Amino acid sequence: MEVNGTVDILSSAYLAAEYVDGVLPENPFQPSMKHAWEYMTDNYTKFQIATWGSLIVHEVIYFMFCLPGFLFQFMPFMQKYKIQQDKPETWEKQWTCFKMLLFNHFCIQLPLICGTYYFTEFFRIPYDWDSMPRWPYVVAQCLGCAIVEDTWHYFLHRLLHHRKIYKYIHKVHHEFTAPFGMQAEYAHPAETLILGAGFFIGIMLFCNHVFFLWAWVSFRLLETIDVHSGYDIPLNPLHLIPFYGGTRFHDFHHMNFVGNYASTFTWWDTILKTDNQYNTYLQKQGDKKGQ
């Protein structure tokens, strides 16, 4: 059984985007990337690549994307972009968050990462350079995963806000009403598993190379850290994504508690009218600026 059969019908359309006048443009970085990738596959086993490689990618990407938001608190000129300016970050909150992150990353997520090798073996996911999917295909796959994950996240996240469940699980994530980037994965272990399941559904549907696993991890981390950053930075390239919620959208969820349940896109909240309070808030903010 091969997972890539799920998306083969789309491949020709996305691969065609790479060609200009019928010629495949040369990527100047490709030789270096190929050399590095083949060095990795020649010197490490599939288990090492899938397990330790995935762990390294997750940790490096996570804290690298958290770093700008962490530094913003020391830059006075960046405070005008902070959404909840009356609730600055504190060392106590950030240390509490960091300790929980280490527990979740190494006691909850690492055992899951250890299953990556067995997943790739079961579904015959390739590791070699020649099977590497081209970039338009990877972008399309990440978009597909984001749509699947966003749908799962909306309904399960909304369920976790139910008054009979909230205090046992999701309350941990809402300890901070003014989020900051490092808080993106600050959650109860059960929530890490429940909401994290949506991340893996897309992989099971679309994955056709181990590189895609890392690409999807990177995109999802970038997105979730962005919406938890607490800073609405202008010229954010993620805002080019249609229907992208963004930092203000999710920051309101932490500030207001009710509404804006989706992780990435706005359509589920719009369709099910769980963004009504957010829209009212935006209208009031606009009225204040107009006075």
3-state secondary structure of 82: strand
For 98, the enclosing helix (H) or strand (E) is helix 91-103
Cβ distance 178 to 93 under 8 Å? no
pTM for the full predicted model:
0.86
Task: Please tell me the predicted confidence (pLDDT) of residue 27.
Answer: 61
Distances (CA, A) of 80 to 72, 83, 226, 248: 11, 8, 17, 14
Among residues 287, 284, 262, 264, the alpha carbon closest in space to that of 273 is found at 262
Distance CA 262, CA 249 (A): 9
pLDDT of residue 285: 81
Q: What would the two tokens of residue 34 be?
A: 């190929």
Can you read off the two tokens belonging to residue 183?
């808080």
Report pLDDT for 1: 43
Long-range contacts (CB closer than 8 Å, 24 or more residues apart) made by 118-125: 119/203, 120/46, 120/50, 120/210, 120/213, 121/46, 122/1, 123/1, 123/2, 123/3, 123/204, 123/207, 124/1, 124/2, 125/3, 125/207, 125/208, 125/209, 125/210, 125/213
Could you tell me which residues are beta bridge partners of residue 82? 231
236 three-class SS: coil
For residue 115 the two structure tokens come to 């299953």
Residue whose C-alpha is closest to residue 154's, from 202, 195, 200: 195
Integer Cα distance of 288 and 129 in angstroms: 56
Q: Of 67, 202, 37, which Cα lies nearest the Cα of 128?
A: 37
Could you tell me the mean pLDDT of each successive run of 10 residues in the chain, 291 residues long?
46 46 56 92 96 96 94 92 90 92 93 93 94 92 96 98 95 92 93 94 93 96 96 92 95 94 97 96 76 53
Q: Tell me the C-alpha distance between 165 and 109, whole Å.
A: 23
DSSP state of 1: -
